[in-house]
Amino acid sequence: MGSKWFETVAIAQERAHRRLPPSVYGAVLGGAEKGLTVRDNVTSFDELQLAPHVAGQAAQHDLVSSVMGQSLSMPVVLSPTGVQAVHPAGEVAVARAAASRGVAMGLSSFASKPVEEVVSCAAPVFFQVYWSGGREAVLARLERAAKAGASGLIATLDWSFSHGRDWGSPWIPESLTWRNMARLAPQALSHPAWLYPFLRARRLPELLTPNMVGVGESAPTFFGAYGEWMQTPPPSWSDVAWLREQWDGPFMVKGVTRVDDARRVRDLGATALSVSNHGGNNLDSTPATIRVLPAVAEAVGDQIEVLLDGGVRRGSDVVKAVALGARAVMIGRAYLWGLAVNGQAGVENVLDVLRAGIQATMRGLGRESLAELSREDVVAPPDFFRALGT
């Protein structure tokens, strides 16, 4: 397996921290304002304990799940993340890893690789869209994704983003001009392990978003696309219903934390919803997603698929989420750290780590299949769970 292999996501993060220039690592780490939510997403899993059995465990464990009509080898989906400048192969490497490990991936409309190229890698791809530029612009992106063969659509509604971070926001250039490259040079040259793959590929990190425009049109920069989003009025529930009507296929709304919002998403005919706070990059001080998951899952029952996104670092985290009502989890930073360390193989390594952890946890709990998991398998402290918007 070589020296690039890692046995936990924490080790992948530590190696990515050493490998990446500070601006790049800071962009991946993210978090808004004081970072309360990004920390709670992770540490809240530590507060949940497991209730194992000591005999009668199954020798084999069925981890197969399905999300939006796609069969998964385990209940994990790679969450859409923007411009993946941690490795030159970016989203293509992620898609290939997803295909090799039998999971689906979300492709951000802010991705650095075209949807056509990513879909060609044979993994199920859920195209993610922001409400940006108005109905005509959004519809053009949907039509391109559908023509490319995307398996589903993810509408992300929870992004508000705060520029104020207590530890300072990383400097990310609008474009790689000679002046900006000179400013970045000390960081890049002091991190040759990150720089070398880009030099070998004879390309610089891409800060463009080709999926925000039609095929053949000039792609805006990340901040150009972000500026369009900022200038677009937030969508109404009528807009969300319209969006659902435009997509002839599985449809997910990402960013739900309130029970009343979950019911509205269910009622507009969505296939799935993701309990998400944008990985802590949204409104700081919102609860960890695992805290609000049970209330959301209970409110909508089996009428819509419920996923959890936020803070998943171990296979046991996946099992806890499924036991508390999630059909599957979505991971973001975890696979980006793997991508940074070792490209496609690094993402596969992260997925293998999660699979092994899921299997070990299922064995300890004495559960043969995901369907057998329940709240009885999880011990929570008093007042751990939250029910927002009831």
Please state the rounded mean pLDDT for residues 32-38: 89
**Cα distance between residue 131 and residue 21, in whole Å:** 31
SS3 242: helix
Over residues 118-131, the pLDDT tens digits come to: 999 999 999 999 99
Mention every residue, 6+ apart, whose C-beta is less than 8 A from residue 91.
Answer: 84, 105, 107, 108, 111, 112, 113, 118
Alpha-carbon distances of 322 from 174, 281, 315, 317, rounded to whole Å:
40, 24, 11, 9
Among residues 17, 53, 191, 278, the one annotated as catalytic is 278
Straight-line distance from the first to the last Cα atom of the chain, in angstroms, rounded to the nearest whole number: 50
Cβ proximity of 16 and 337 under 8 Å: yes
* Pair of tokens at residue 304: 């819509």
Over residues 174-218, the pLDDT tens digits come to: 665 656 666 777 776 777 787 778 777 766 676 889 999 988 888
* Predicted local distance difference test score (pLDDT) of residue 174: 61
Which pLDDT band holds residue 148 (cuts at 50, 70, 90)? very high
* Predicted local distance difference test score (pLDDT) of residue 333: 96
* Predicted local distance difference test score (pLDDT) of residue 298: 97
Kindly state the percentage of the chain with pLDDT values over 90. 73
* Burial call 219-249: b when 16+ CB within 10 Å, e when fewer: bbbbeebbebbeeeeebeeebbeebbeebee
* Predicted local distance difference test score (pLDDT) of residue 250: 98
Please state the rounded mean pLDDT for residues 349-371: 96
* H helix runs in 247-332, sequence order: 259-267, 289-300, 315-323
Q: Is 163 considered catalytic here?
A: no
- Rg from Cα positions in the chain: 20
pTM across the whole model: 0.93
**Cα distance between residue 338 and residue 280, in whole Å:** 20
Cβ proximity of 380 and 290 under 8 Å: no
